[in-house]
Amino acid sequence: MGRLAVSAALFSAALIIEAGLVTFLTFWPIGCELRRVDSLLGFLDLYSIDSNLDVWVLMLLHLLALPLCFIRVAGLIRRHRRRYANARMAIYLICYTTQMALLAKAVLVAVFGSDMLSPGRHGESGLIYLFAAILTSLVCVFVEMLSACALVSGWEEGGGRRDEAGEPLLDKTDPAALQRQSTVAMLLSFSAQDTPLLLVAFVAGAVAALGQALIPYYTGLIIDYASIDQRFEDFQRTCLLLVGVAFGTAVFTGIRGGLFTVAMTKLNVRIRTSLFDALLRQEIAFFTSTRTGEITSRLSADTTTVSDQICLNLNVGLRSLTQAAMVLVFMFKASWRLTIITFILIPAIILICKLYGAYYRELAKAVQNELAEANTVAEESLSSMATVRSHAAEDSARAAYQHRLRLFYRLCLKEALGYAAYITCTTFLPNAVNVVTLFYGGNLVLDERMSAGSLVSFMLYVTSLNGALQQLGDVFSAFAAALGAADKVVELIQRAPQMPDPGGLQPGAFSGHLELRGVEFSYPSRPDTRVLSGVSLSVAPGEVVALVGPSGGGKSSIVKLVERFYLPAAGAVLLDGRDVGLYDAKWLKRHVALVAQEPVLFARSVRRNILYGLEIEDGVPAEEVPSSEDVEEAARLANAHDFIMAMPQGYDTDCGEKGVSLSGGQKQRIAIARALVRKPTVLLLDEATSALDSDSEAVVQEALDRMMKDFTVLVIAHRLSTVANADRILVIAKGQVAEQGSHESLAEAGGIYSALVRRQFSKTTSSASLAASGRSSYVNLPSLNTLAPAAGAVPRPKDPL
């Protein structure tokens, strides 16, 4: 950072002084009183000196510029020493050599006066000098502009690191610079869609800037007419003109502001939509490894920062730029000498802005990160408020949040200090320049080379230019902050999902034969821990297979693989003999329905919760959307119809956020209805009753028992009644199928299952025998999971211990 800052500072200083000089060399002949030029060939005479003060101004400029020009050339030669053949280097060298020759000549003239290079002797070569000066100036400015753009957009970032051949290392090794490139490209492509709107806004802004520049001009005229020339009619006319100009300026300023606000909103909507789309595309592993607070912070805070800051600053930036350009033209018209003096201000302000921009960008990124962390901590507590309350953990939640906020506050303090230093400099510099301008301008008025009105106009221009430049500085740092936030948003938008897209298979006939063949699996967040090792199982159409076994054995992971939340590392998950990945995702989710352990409902009506994923908005053709009768039938099957009808608005009752206004059992029954309304062929039941109290469980279990007769079912069960009802039982332990068979055969086999059953009986006070429980009756017995945790398995909070 240190070396980068120093070289950026030197680069910027040289660049700015050069730009000043280029302008100086180009405008000097134009600004000079033309009566002094007998012919164009006599242009060298333009360097003749009017007063001692002029000599000092010239000397100061040249003395400042020359060493910086040398540093710049030396830096160029060092950076490009292996690339002499490079065309860019050649252009640089020609331009700078010519410029240095011009500068040397200017210094000689400034020191010894124009006699030394008389027009008579050097007229011919002088003309060539003039064209060379203008041409080289233009080329230099163009090349430097490209260079500056590259620096800002990251093409030349990376601390100037180069490989052996002197090529920038960035495209191979610097992800930050690459990210910045794609951020800028994506933002440009987002904004490009509003080009007509932005063009109109820009034209309105240019007209407003012209108006702004005219106001000081007419003010100066009014002062001259009122105090010096005493021309009353002209005075009145100019006053009226000024009112007209002020009104026109206000109208165009309003148009520009309004249009930019519209563009800002459009950009915001576009960024949010793209980001949300990108998030919906991501694989499940992304959501388990990224905290929800961080994601929502990107979606809310960062997208707003990006669109607001970019549009606002584009608006202010363009306005300031056009205003500065217009004001400069008027300033040159009023007094070229004074204009050159004020030009000293530009390098200083731009240099400070550049350095501050780099520093601020880093800080802004850190502040955004810290805020996202604080949000995550708050979100974690707020989204699990019941758990926080039930463990009386409010104090630790508050402490964690306060800790994050303290870190955030410290960073903001740093940011504020940086801002304070920046404001101090940018407030002092313009005032210092005002004093110098007044001093020199006063001298010109005393020498009668400028009218008092022109001096007043000029001072108003200087104020206007200061304002424009200060705003440009603010724009620069705000852009930097917006780019920092945009980097993260664009990174998410461009993130490619780590799972291949599903196929488009939608077979007409589907029997629901489910098979896992030699499946090996690890979670992406823990690639070294094998969760399933060579699991093979098969569920025939219409069969009910129960998965039992110790906690952490891998039962839920099997269901997640069938749902294609994850991909197996080896082996295959097949439906009707074809890989699950080949099926169309929407088709698959209609034919293979899941009732999860902890049902999630959304803040919408009961009806829409049952229809979740099957509405017209989900891309389902109108004729395939289940009817109200279908919804009610599913709810009846799920034992949910009666309690739904008992609610004030029946199926239109709002479930509240995450279904808070319903009990656990009610939520689970709605989730079952949601699965049934799809009329699936395969049902996956993941311990659907484990989180319920015994009353709710009885009702839900009854619904499940009823369902199991009609579908191919893979059920993770820890209730003996469910297990006993199954056609086949698979014992999953340590990621493998340890045993399989019927309840009776396994209970007698003396393995893991019989140990589970034995221990369950010893814990049960009730003497209800398993055999007597029958296939359809429900017996509320303790969990099989509680009996024998697998060695090495991680116990999880959901276990009903």
Ligand X SMILES: Nc1ncnc2c1ncn2[C@@H]1O[C@H](COP(=O)(O)OP(=O)(O)OP(=O)(O)O)[C@@H](O)[C@H]1O
- In the complex, the residues that contact ligand X under the rule CB under 6 A are 288, 523, 525-526, 531, 551-557, 785, 793-794, 796, 799
The answer for 21, left when phi > 0, alpha when psi is -120 to 50, beta otherwise, is alpha
User: Toward ligand X, which CB reaches closer, 403 or 796?
Assistant: 796
User: Toward ligand X, which CB reaches closer, 110 or 592?
Assistant: 592
680, 523 Cβ separation under 8 angstroms: no
User: Toward ligand X, which CB reaches closer, 485 or 531?
Assistant: 531
Q: How far is the CB of 786 from ligand X (least distance, A)?
A: 10
User: Toward ligand X, which CB reaches closer, 12 or 557?
Assistant: 557
663, 574 Cβ separation under 8 angstroms: no
Give the Cβ contact number of residue 53 at 10 Å.
16
Q: How far is the CB of 714 from ligand X (least distance, A)?
A: 12
Q: How far is the CB of 760 from ligand X (least distance, A)?
A: 15
Q: How far is the CB of 582 from ligand X (least distance, A)?
A: 24
User: Toward ligand X, which CB reaches closer, 662 or 716?
Assistant: 716
User: Toward ligand X, which CB reaches closer, 303 or 551?
Assistant: 551
- The label of the residue with tokens 């479930």 reads 655
Give the Cβ contact number of residue 273 at 10 Å.
11
The residues near 709 (Cβ < 8 Å, ≥ 6 apart) are none
Q: How far is the CB of 557 from ligand X (least distance, A)?
A: 3
592, 575 Cβ separation under 8 angstroms: yes
User: Toward ligand X, which CB reaches closer, 252 or 753?
Assistant: 753
Q: 175-192 and 119-153 are packed helices; what angle lies between their axes, rounded to 10 degrees?
A: 100
User: Toward ligand X, which CB reaches closer, 254 or 800?
Assistant: 800
User: Toward ligand X, which CB reaches closer, 557 or 701?
Assistant: 557
Q: How far is the CB of 187 from ligand X (least distance, A)?
A: 34
Q: What is the C-alpha separation between 590 and 570, in angstroms, rounded?
A: 26
User: Toward ligand X, which CB reaches closer, 606 or 787?
Assistant: 787
User: Toward ligand X, which CB reaches closer, 523 or 587?
Assistant: 523
Q: What is the C-alpha separation between 179 and 176, in angstroms, rounded?
A: 5
CA angle 538, 540, 546 (to 5 degrees): 65
544, 727 Cβ separation under 8 angstroms: yes
Q: How far is the CB of 634 from ligand X (least distance, A)?
A: 26
Q: How far is the CB of 548 from ligand X (least distance, A)?
A: 9
User: Toward ligand X, which CB reaches closer, 50 or 799?
Assistant: 799
Q: How far is the CB of 726 from ligand X (least distance, A)?
A: 16
CA proximity to 532, closest of 549, 508, 512? 549
Sign of the CA dihedral with 784 first, then 790, 796, and 797 last:
positive
Q: How far is the CB of 384 from ligand X (least distance, A)?
A: 17
User: Toward ligand X, which CB reaches closer, 230 or 498?
Assistant: 498
Q: What is the C-alpha separation between 49 and 54, in angstroms, rounded?
A: 6
User: What is the SS3 assignment for 602?
Assistant: coil
Q: How far is the CB of 596 from ligand X (least distance, A)?
A: 11
> What are the helix (H) ranges across 52-118?
52-79, 87-112
Give the Cβ contact number of residue 38 at 10 Å.
9
Q: Which two tokens stand for residue 627?
A: 């009817």
Q: What is the C-alpha separation between 603 and 657, in angstroms, rounded?
A: 4
Q: How far is the CB of 173 from ligand X (least distance, A)?
A: 32
User: What is the SS3 assignment for 578?
Assistant: strand
Q: How far is the CB of 489 from ligand X (least distance, A)?
A: 26
Q: How far is the CB of 531 from ligand X (least distance, A)?
A: 4
Q: What is the C-alpha separation between 298 and 302, in angstroms, rounded?
A: 5
Give first-to-last CA distance, the chain, whole Å.
55
Q: What is the C-alpha separation between 270 and 276, in angstroms, rounded?
A: 10
User: Toward ligand X, which CB reaches closer, 99 or 557?
Assistant: 557
Q: What is the C-alpha separation between 341 and 334, in angstroms, rounded?
A: 13
Q: How far is the CB of 284 from ligand X (least distance, A)?
A: 8
Q: How far is the CB of 551 from ligand X (least distance, A)?
A: 3
Specify which residues 741 forms β-bridges with: 729
3-state secondary structure 336-363: HHHHHHHHCHHHHHHHHHHHHHHHHHHH
Q: How far is the CB of 535 from ligand X (least distance, A)?
A: 11
Q: How far is the CB of 525 from ligand X (least distance, A)?
A: 5
User: Toward ligand X, which CB reaches closer, 598 or 702?
Assistant: 598
CA proximity to 28, closest of 86, 92, 114? 114
Q: What is the C-alpha separation between 390 and 635, in angstroms, rounded?
A: 32
Amino acid identity, residue 713?
V
Q: Which two tokens stand for residue 509?
A: 């006939």
Q: Which two tokens stand for residue 256?
A: 């520009």
* Longest CA–CA separation in the chain, Å: 126
DSSP run (H or E) holding 514: strand 514-521
609, 571 Cβ separation under 8 angstroms: no
Q: Which two tokens stand for residue 496?
A: 């490619």
- Number of Cα atoms under 13 Å in the Cβ half of residue 668: 25
Give the Cβ contact number of residue 653 at 10 Å.
18
User: Toward ligand X, which CB reaches closer, 518 or 795?
Assistant: 795
673, 638 Cβ separation under 8 angstroms: yes
User: Toward ligand X, which CB reaches closer, 339 or 551?
Assistant: 551
User: Toward ligand X, which CB reaches closer, 44 or 561?
Assistant: 561
Cα 625 from chain centre: 37
Q: What is the C-alpha separation between 692 and 662, in angstroms, rounded?
A: 13
Amino acid identity, residue 270?
R
